[in-house]
């Protein structure tokens, strides 16, 4: 079923009805893809000078491009159970 209402879009399959393949909210600038996202050429991240929130319940596994260090960072749980941004390169 494909839906569009109240600034949202949902594209789902009857095979995977627990999670839509694509879910988006245009008002929140949010897009969720459940499955593999295959990009043939480039994913471009806008540099951020301030790190987003990194916590076990928020942005865990997220990646951002640090504009101050020119490095990709991933949000992990550190040994004390706190969220921490760690450079990937």
pLDDT in tens, 63-81: 999 999 999 999 999 999 9
Tokens of 48: 């951020």
Give residues with Cβ within 8 angstroms of 18, minimum separation 6: none
Q: Which residue has the tokens 């916590």?
A: 55
Tokens of 3: 């839906």
**pLDDT tens, residue by residue, 14-46:** 665 678 888 899 998 989 988 888 999 999 999
The pTM assigned to this predicted structure is 0.71
């Amino acid at each position: 079923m494909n839906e569009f209402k109240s600034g949202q879009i949902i594209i789902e399959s009857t095979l995977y009805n627990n999670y839509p393949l694509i879910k988006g909210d245009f008002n929140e600038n949010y897009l969720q893809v459940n499955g593999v996202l295959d990009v043939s050429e480039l994913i471009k991240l806008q540099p951020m000078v301030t790190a987003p929130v990194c916590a076990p319940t928020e942005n865990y596994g997220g990646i951002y491009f640090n504009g101050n260090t020119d490095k990709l960072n991933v949000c992990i749980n550190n040994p004390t159970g706190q969220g921490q941004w760690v450079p990937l390169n």
